[in-house]
């Protein structure tokens, strides 16, 4: 099965930033969730970047949006546009969602997914980066609807993943999907 990872670009990034980790996850989701994923796929979205922004004091930045369940924060992520280089997507999303000229400190790796409901399977890929950037975060793309940021110790990322996995029924598929990236970063970034 094609898991959508751009192997040539992954090899180039690994050569530039060092060894990477790979994971694959199969997620079984509801009919409503698979419809959403099919809509995303129809728009050409087959991949995203996840950005773990280091903050002073051994912390990592999370964000929230007004329509998330109360108290829900997560790592920054954003879509890779069709034909867009992965590294360019990381810089663009860093500016749009954080308002910062970010620098890539490390390409942590690739998470591939098979998102499934009955006989429908949607492949998706997350390219995960540890980044740095100076200044206070603020979204530059108002369509992002980011309503707040908070910085937590890196060691608390597994607890954030636990919270995401325990969201209510309307958010559980999204929370399970998002938790994977938080556990991935939490295992790989020792601060």
Q: Which helix (H) or strand (E) holds 22?
A: strand 21-28
Residue 64 belongs to some domain of the structure: yes
Residue 3: is its pLDDT beyond 70?
Answer: no
CATH number (domain holding residue 89): 3.90.79.10
pTM: 0.95
For residue 2, the model assigns a pLDDT of 45
State how many domains the chain has.
1
Residue 143: is its pLDDT beyond 90?
Answer: no
Query: In this structure, is the dihedral angle defined by the CA atoms of residues 59, 124, 101 and 72, taken in order, positive or negative?
Result: negative
Residue 191 belongs to some domain of the structure: no
pLDDT, one tens digit per residue, over 16-47 is: 999 999 999 999 999 999 999 999 988 888 89
Residue 149 belongs to some domain of the structure: yes
For residue 45, the model assigns a pLDDT of 87
Residue 26 belongs to some domain of the structure: yes
pLDDT, one tens digit per residue, over 91-131 is: 999 999 999 999 999 999 999 999 999 999 999 999 999 99
Q: Helix (H, G, I), strand (E, B), or coil: what is residue 72? A: coil
Per the structure, the complete domain to which residue 165 belongs is given by 7-186
Residue 1: is its pLDDT beyond 60?
Answer: no
- With a CB cutoff of 8 Å and minimum separation 6, the contacts of 191 are 54, 58, 60, 153, 154, 155
Residue 183: is its pLDDT beyond 80?
Answer: yes
CA dist 85 and 83 (Å) reads: 6
pLDDT, one tens digit per residue, over 64-92 is: 999 999 999 999 999 999 889 999 999 99
25 contacts 110 by C-beta, under 8 angstroms: no
């Amino acid at each position: 099965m094609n898991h959508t990872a751009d192997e040539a670009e992954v090899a180039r990034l690994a050569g530039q930033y060092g060894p990477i980790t790979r994971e694959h996850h199969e997620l079984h989701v509801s009919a409503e969730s698979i419809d959403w994923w099919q809509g995303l796929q129809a728009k050409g979205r087959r991949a995203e970047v996840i950005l773990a922004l280091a903050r002073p004091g051994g912390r990592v930045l999370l964000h929230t949006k007004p329509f998330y369940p109360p108290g829900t924060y997560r790592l920054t992520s954003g879509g890779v546009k069709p034909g867009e280089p992965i590294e360019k997507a990381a810089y663009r999303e860093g500016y749009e969602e954080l308002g910062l000229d970010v620098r890539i400190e490390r390409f942590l790796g690739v998470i591939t997914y098979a998102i499934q409901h009955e006989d429908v399977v949607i492949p998706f890929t997350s390219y995960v980066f540890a980044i740095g950037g100076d200044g206070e975060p603020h979204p530059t793309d108002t369509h992002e609807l980011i309503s707040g940021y908070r910085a937590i110790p890196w060691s608390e990322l597994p607890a954030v993943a636990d919270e995401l996995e325990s969201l209510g029924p309307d958010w559980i598929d999204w929370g399970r999907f998002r938790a994977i990236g938080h556990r991935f970063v939490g295992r790989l970034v020792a601060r």
